A and B are shown apart, each in its own frame.
Chain A
Amino acid sequence: MNESLRTPAPEADEAAMLLAELDRQMIRAERALERNTLIDVDNLEVRYGSNVVLRDVTFDVPANQITAFIGPSGCGKSTALRCFNRMNDEIRGFSMNGRIQLGGQDIYDPRVDVTELRRQVGMVFQHPNPFPMSIHENIALAVREHNPRISRDELDGVVEQALVHANLWDEVKDDLKRSALALSGGQQQRLCIARALAVRPTVIMLDEPCASLDPISTARIEELLLELVADYTIIIVTHNLAQARRISDDVAFFLMGRLLEFGDARRVFEDPLRRETADYVRGAYG
C-alpha cells in the first residue's frame, strides 16, 4: 500500500492551513502597517499633588476605531481621557510627564490653542449635561464660538446635520426651541453627542456615556457609535464589559494607574496575556 498516495489529504490540509495562517499573518501585518495612529501616548505619568494616578502608560489610539478603556473604579481611566483634551489642566495639583501626540502634534506644547484642541477632541460625560437653554442653542453656542461669522441659515444647517448624525433629529425636529432639559436622559445624551459633533471634531471621547441610561437608550447610543466610527475616532470609558465587547476594536485595561494590557478587543477578552486581565474580564474585580 502506498500510504502517501492513499492519504495525501492530511499534508495537503496542513499546507492549506499553513497557507491560510500565513495569509492571516500577512493581513494582520498589513493592518498594523496601515494602522493609522491618531493619538500616540508615550510614557504618560500623571499626578494629582503628590499622588501618582497614572504611570508608564504607552499606547496608541488608531483613527476610525472604537477604543475602550476598562478597569476597576479609580484606576485612572477618566484621568487618561481628560489628558487628551487637557481638561485636567483645570484640576488643582495636576501635573504630567510624558508625551501625547494628536496627529503627530504634541498637545501639551505651550503653543497649542487649548480651545482649538477641545474642538478637535470632543467629550461626552457620564451624566448628560445639556445647557439650560433650547435644543437649538445647545448646539449653536459652541458652533458660534468657533465660527463667529456663521450665517443664520448655515448655523441652522449645522444644527440639523448634527442632530441627524446623533440620531436625534426625528424626535426633536418639530420644536428645536424647546428646553433641552425637558428631554429624556437618553435624548439628552444624544444631544450632548450632537453638540460635540457640531464643531467637527476628529476624536469623540465618552466617559461612561451610558451609565445613567436604560438598556434601550444604551443600545441606541451603541448603534450610534458604530455608525459614527466611520467618520470619527472614538474612545469610550465603560464599566460595561459586554458593551466593550460589543462595540470596541481595541481595549485598554487599566489597573491601579498602569496600563496592564492593550490590544485587539477580541484578543484581550478571549486570550488575555495577563492574569489580572483574565480575572477582571471574568469579573473578579469590582
Chain B
Amino acid sequence: MRVSPIKGHARLSRWIGPASAWIAAAVVAAVCFFIVGHIVREGYAHVDWKFLTTDPDPSPAESTGGGVRIPIVGTTFLVLLSTLLTFPIALGAAVYLAEYMDERWAVTKAIRLGLEVLAGVPSVVFGMFGVAMFSHGVFTFMSSSGAEGSDVAFGRSFLVAATVMAIHVLPFVIKVMEEAIRSVPLSYRQGAAALGVTKWRAIRRIVLPAAAPGIATGVILGMGLAAGDTAIVWLTLGGTMNMAVDNWWALDQIVNVLRGTGSTLTTFIYFSSPAGEGNAPELAYGGAMVLILLVITLNAAATLIGRARRQTR
C-alpha cells in the first residue's frame, strides 16, 4: 500500500480543533488585558503614596480628596478574618468528603447538594441574610448594639461580614481542597495501610502534606473571592467609607474594631464611582487598580506555591 497524501478537508479538520482552542484562549487573554489595561490607564495617575496613606473623604462634594488607607486595612482585616474562619471548616469538610464519606450515604448526598446550592447563591442574598440573622439580640457580641437599651444587634461589623463571607466562599474552597486531597495517589494510602499506619495518621502525615499546595491554592482562591466581593461588604460591613473606630491600629481597640463597621476597597470603589453611588471616577479607578494588584499578588503566590510543589516532587 502507498502512503497517500492528506486530503484537503482532512488537513482542515486537523487544524480546526487546535485553531479554535487557540482563538478562544486569545480572546480570553485579550479581554483580560483590555480590562486591566483600562483600569491601569485610568487609575495609574491617581495612585501615589498619598493616595495609599490617606483615609477616604466621605463628603460627596469633595471629589478629588481622600485615599484608600482605611479600605486597604479593611480588606486585609476582612480577608484574614474570613480565611481564619474558612480554613479549618473547609479543610475538615474536604478531608471528610474525600476520605471518609461514602457516596451512597444519604448524608453525603445531602451535603453535596447543600454545597452546590450554597455555591449558586448570589452574594447579595448572603448579605441580606447576614444582616437579618446577626441583628438578632443573641448576636450582640458580634456587632455593637443598634441603640442604647435596645436588645437587637446592629448586624453590621467586621465579625459579621467575615462570617457571612466565610459561608459564601466555603463551597468553592471546599471543592478545591477536596480535589487536592483526592489527587494524592492511592498508592500512598495503600502503602501506609500495609505498614499498619492508621488511616488518620496517614492522612495527617502523608496525604495532607502531599496535598498542601492544592490546599494552599484553595485558601488563596477564598482570599481572592473575599477581597473581591462587594455585596456582602456593602450590606454587612456598614455602608461607610471609614471605620467606626478612629484609632483602629491600637491593640486595645481590637474588639471594638472587630465589632464595628468599616470599609474595603470594593466598597470604596462602589462609593466613589459614578457607576455606583459616587462622582469621583478617578478615585474609583485608583482603588480598582490597588485591588487588582492585590488579587494578582495572591494569584502569583498561588502559582509560586504550585511551582515549589513541582520542585519537591
Contact A125 B187 (CB under 8 A): yes
> In the complex, what distance in Å separates the CA atom of A119 from the CA atom of B192?
11
Least CB distance, A196 to chain B, in whole angstroms? 7
| Contact count band on B | 10 to 19
Q: CB of A279 within 8 A of chain B? A: no
* CB-CB contacts below 8 Å: B151-201 with A: 185, 187-188, 190-198, 201
The verdict on A118 contacting B191 (CB below 8 Å), with A132-B210, A132-B313, A141-B206 known, is: no
A residues less than 8 Å from B198 (CB atoms): 115, 145
**Does B312 make an interface contact (CB < 8 A)?**
yes
Q: How far, in Å, is A208 (CB) from chain B's closest CB?
A: 14
Q: Assess the B191–A87 pair: CB atoms within 8 A.
A: no
B63 to chain A, nearest CB (A): 56
Shortest B293–chain A CB gap in Å is: 34
Instruction: Decide yes or no: A199 and B196 within 8 Å by CB, A125-B187, A129-B187, A132-B209 being known contacts.
Output: yes
Chain A residues near B187: list those with CB within 8 A.
Answer: 125, 127, 129
Report the minimum CB–CB distance from B51 to chain A (whole Å): 46
Whether the Cβ atoms of B196 and A117 lie closer than 8 Å is yes
The one of A90, A119, A127, A133 that contacts B195, using a Cβ cutoff of 8 Å:
A119
Complex partner residue of B188 from A118, A119, A132, A146, CB under 8 angstroms? A132
The answer on a CB contact under 8 Å between A195 and B193 is no
Residue contact B195 to A195, C-beta cutoff 8 Å = yes
Q: How far is the CB of B313 from chain A (nearest CB, A)?
A: 6
Query: Which listed residue, B193, B194, B206, B312, touches A131 by the CB 8 Å rule?
Result: B206
* Residues 140-181 of A at the B interface (beta carbon under 8 Å): 141-142, 145-146, 179, 181
CB-CB under 8 A from A62, the residues of chain B are none
A85 interface residue, CB < 8 Å from B? yes
Distance between Cα atoms of A263 and B131 in the complex (Å) = 77
Bound Cα distance from A118 to B198, whole angstroms: 10
CA A17 to CA B185, docked complex, whole Å: 61
A141 near B188: Cβ-Cβ < 8 Å? no
Rounded to whole Å, the gap between the CB of A144 and the closest CB of chain B is 9
Number of interface residues of A (CB under 8 A): 28
Say if the beta carbon of B41 comes within 8 Å of chain A. no
Task: Say yes or no for B307: interface residue by CB 8 A criterion.
Answer: no
A118 to B312, CA, bound (A): 30
The answer to whether B195 and A129 have CB atoms under 8 Å apart is no
B112 within 8 A of A: no
Residues of chain B lying within 8 A (CB to CB) of residue A127: 187
Chain A residues near B312 (CB-CB < 8 A)? 132, 179
A177–B226 alpha-carbon span in the complex (Å): 39
CB proximity of A117 to chain B, nearest CB, Å: 7
Assuming the contacts A127-B187, A131-B188, A179-B312, asked whether A145 and B194 have C-beta atoms less than 8 A apart, the reply is no
Bound-complex Cα distance A127 to B187 (A): 9
Q: Say whether A115 contacts B206, CB under 8 Å.
A: no
* Assembly CA distance A122 to B195 (angstroms): 6
Question: Which among B188, B197, B210, B313 has the highest number of chain A CB atoms within 10 Å?
Answer: B197
CB neighbours of A118 from chain B (8 A):
193-196
A-B contact count (CB 8 A): 69
A109 at the interface (CB under 8 A from B): no
Q: Which residues of A contact B191 (CB under 8 A)?
A: 125, 129-131, 192, 195
Interface positions of A from 44 to 101, Cβ below 8 Å from B: 85, 87, 90
Contacts of A227 in B (CB 8 A): none
**Nearest-neighbor residue (CB-CB) of A143 within chain B:** B195
B205 within 8 A of A: yes
Q: Which residues of B contact A181 (CB under 8 A)?
A: 313
Residue of B nearest to A131 (CB): B206
Chain A, residue nearest B205 (CB): A141
Query: Please, how many angstroms separate the alpha-carbon atoms of A162 and B198 in the complex?
Result: 21
Q: Distance (Å) between the CB of B60 and the closest chain A CB?
A: 58
Contact, CB under 8 Å: B313 / A142: no
Is A237 interfacial (CB 8 A cutoff)? Answer: no
> CA of A155 to CA of B44 in the docked complex: distance in angstroms?
59
Note all chain A residues with C-beta closer than 8 A to B188.
129, 131-132
Interface: A116 (CB within 8 A): yes
Chain B residues with CB under 8 Å of A146's CB are 196
- Inter-chain CA distance A129–B187, complex, in Å, is 6
Q: Digit string of A218-230 for contact with B (CB within 8 Å is 1, else 0)?
A: 0000000000000
Pairwise interchain contact A87-B194, C-beta atoms closer than 8 A: yes
Residues of A within 8 A of B209 (CB): 132-133
Is A123 in contact with chain B by the CB < 8 A criterion?
yes
Given contacts A132-B313, A179-B312, contact A142 B190 (CB under 8 A): no
> How far apart are B290's CB and chain A's nearest CB, in angstroms?
38
Q: Please determine whether B195 and A145 come into contact, CB atoms closer than 8 angstroms.
A: yes
Minimum CB–CB distance for B142 against chain A, Å: 42
Q: Chain B nearest CB: distance from A32 CB in Å?
A: 32
Q: Knowing A117-B196, A119-B196 are in contact, say whether A87-B190 is a contact too (CB < 8 A).
A: yes
Contact among A115, A117, A192 with B197 in the assembled complex (CB-CB below 8 Å)? A115
Would you list 5 pairs from A and B whose C-beta atoms are within 8 A, ordered by A residue?
A114-B196, A115-B197, A117-B196, A118-B196, A145-B198
Supply 9 further A-B pairs (C-beta < 8 A) apart from A181-B313, A196-B194. A115-B198, A119-B195, A122-B194, A125-B190, A129-B187, A131-B206, A131-B210, A133-B206, A179-B312
Q: Taking beta carbons and an 8 Å cutoff, which residues of A are in contact with B? A: 85, 87, 90, 114-119, 122-123, 125, 127, 129-133, 141-142, 145-146, 179, 181, 192, 195-196, 199
Closest 8 CB pairs of A and B: A118-B196, A129-B187, A142-B195, A119-B196, A123-B194, A115-B196, A129-B191, A145-B197
